[in-house]
Amino acid sequence: MTSSAMPDAPNLFSYRKYWAQRFGVAPVLPMSRAEMDELGWDSCDVILVTGDAYIDHPSFGMALIGRLLEAQGFRVGIISQPDWTSAEDFTKLGKPNLFFGVTGGNMDSMVNRYTSDKKIRSNDAYTANGIAGKRPDRAVNVYSHRCREAFKEAPIIIGGIEASLRRIAHYDYWSDKVRKSVLLDAKADLLVYGNAERQIVEIAHRLANGESIADLKGIRGTVHFVKQIPADWLVKDSTDIDKPGAPMAAVDPYQEQPACDTKTEANDSNEKVIHFDKSLLRKTQRAQTVIRLPAYEAVKDDAILYAHASRVMHGETNPGNARALIQQHGTRQLWINPPPIPLSTKEMDGVFDLPYSRVPHKEYGSANVPAFEMIQHSVNIMRGCFGGCTFCSITEHEGRIIQSRSEDSIIKEIEAIRDTSPTFTGHISDLGGPTANMYRIACKDPKVEAACRLPSCVYPGICPNLNTDHSSLIKLYRRARALPGIKKIFIASGLRYDLAVESPEYVKELVTHHVGGYLKIAPEHTEQGVLSKMMKPGMGTYDRFKEMFDKYSKEAGKEQYLIPYFIAAHPGTTDLDMLNLALWLKRNGFRADQVQAFLPSPMSIATAMYHSGKDTLHKVSRKAEDMAIPKSFKQRRLHKAFLRYHDPKNWPLLRDALNAMGRNDLIGNGKQHLIPSYQPKGTIEAPTKTQTFKTKYTGFDNKRNEKASSKNKFAGKQKK
């Protein structure tokens, strides 16, 4: 449920329905003029443009938003994966009466197309038959430009994860530079970030009531431009919150300024700039205060200021206490409103109970859409994540507060899958969401929750204010698997095992009934230095969970295994860290088939680390110690090779690295060795002299790692 300490928000379904509700519910949202004619429509009120194939299922953003707007009485059309080389496809449904809604799709278009090594992917799971190349790079920008070309006067609203994570000036991995807010690059009118239900419903009704797109200021979860700060607002400089350290030689307009004796002072723009002490901060009304971040022109050339802006932005993500942000982009001022208020359980039920057909649009015929095949028999039970992993985008997009559906709504959806899906065989592939086991878990005190600024509820340990009771989830599992016609329910969403161990009853329930032989979990690394940069628990927690997992599997008479996932080349990772991880994998008999390397997604905390070379979990200064940042192709390749130490193709690279690290004792043909000294025929030959990988030590393999290596790190026993 939404916390009672949160600001109020109107119920999603309390608005008076738009007059077009008389047309009724569409079997599927139309993608052509012919389908509009069948429905008796002369026009669409809203047209959603998406980079995904259109699947009328609540796991697909354009379907969820489209059906929600339909429930408000609006006529909604879909333009799916248009030909972006001209504006023709963007005109096929005519001009929308209210606005174009543009999204890159369920995945960021750049992540969708490129691997972490910037290689082009060979397929696209959100396209019919998995065909790659059906969406452009930076799809939100391209689609918005084409919408503007098609109908110059139509308002354009951008949203989805691609826009959400680019709402402010952000580091872009693919171009290796800081880019402007996507709102400028897309030339759109308004940006909606996070889960968009509240914002998009308010926007649609206000436009339908005659307001212009320029009137829509101050809506939570939106970003827009302002010509000047409203007269009744105060401006707080970001350096009063988090000081970025001594300025560079060039003039820095955001350097620390002396504290003021009075509440406010005027700057060159006649803004009321506040320099708070704590007592003054408590007295000032937060709702009328905006924090000025360093301008785009400042952060694009200064990685320390960028890291500073990132830290301040991440501190303003709790809907209960977040303040508005403002950031100059040239002559324009970008205003970022606080995050939207989380949905209540009743509202969540209303969204997921809408009349989705739950199948791909008929346009695709018998084609297979891989993403649909994966989720068609799964059920989303919640959203949000309070884990705060620094490399993950879930918290930045969906927020830390868990929004859960009711048990009845979830059971109703399982029954619908059972009764209507022609391919259903009695197996539910997942009951989950961003995580498997945060359903109905929340802070014990709503006032504490609304005031909290911690980036995680479970790191460095589980917060004493967090209620870790899994009883609601256990009850749901038991009721769901007792339904007639349900043979097995699997749990495939990511499990927070540090949370699960707080409820042995839940672990027993999971292991006994909901694991299909293998359970995937994500320790991400074994070395504490790296884990601290990820905000992930130590391996002691993994060992504790594994002990429970093995115990309950044995009691159930089942042979089941954990499959741990790890990340290579994360900020803060040294070559020695990866070697220690490889040795752990070997000791425990793990051979990873696929490995992932860190990909700096826009706006994440780890991306700020990657760009600045500093630990941005702590106050950043120019004199702060540099972090190990594996950036070069060679080092990233080596770190991935350590994860696949068993692959003969990696042995030449690993031999060379181990020799350079002084660890040739790990090369040989015994059980105690990491890799053999021989090279099988038909595999890659040893590198030539000019190709030899040389490890460059820069002081990152410091005493912490040296001390760790001396404590039986290479012994045959597993760490405890």
Architecture of domain 19-221: 3-Layer(aba) Sandwich (3.40)
Tokens standing for 414?
């399982």
pLDDT of residue 202: 98
d(C-alpha 217, C-alpha 386), whole Å: 29
- Collapsing DSSP states into helix, strand and coil, what is residue 236? strand
pLDDT of residue 715: 32
Angle at 88 between CA 82 and CA 91, to 5 degrees: 90
Residue 540 carries which side chain, given as an amino acid letter?
A: G
Q: Would you tell me how many other CB atoms lie within 10 Å of the CB of residue 460?
A: 12
d(C-alpha 436, C-alpha 430), whole Å: 9
Residue 129 carries which side chain, given as an amino acid letter?
A: N
pLDDT of residue 264: 42
- All structural domains of the chain with their residue ranges: 19-221, 228-332, 377-514, 526-538+568-720
d(C-alpha 191, C-alpha 216), whole Å: 11
Same fold, 19-221 and 377-514: no
In whole angstroms, how far apart are CA 57 and each of 54, 65, 357, 378?
Answer: 9, 11, 7, 11
Residue 28 carries which side chain, given as an amino acid letter?
A: V
Which has the closest alpha carbon to 369: 575, 125, 187? 125
What values do phi and psi take at 599, rounded to 5?
-120, 115
Are the beta carbons of 6 and 450 closer than 8 angstroms? yes
- The CATH number, out of the four listed (3.30.750.210, 3.40.50.300, 3.40.140.10, 3.40.225.10), of the domain defined by the range 377-514: 3.30.750.210
Mean pLDDT for each consecutive 10-residue tract of the chain (720 residues)?
A: 70 97 97 98 98 97 97 98 98 98 97 95 97 97 98 98 97 98 98 97 98 96 94 89 57 34 45 48 69 97 96 95 96 96 97 97 95 96 96 90 98 97 96 96 94 94 96 98 98 96 98 95 96 97 98 97 96 98 96 90 96 94 92 96 96 97 96 94 58 35 35 32
d(C-alpha 458, C-alpha 499), whole Å: 8
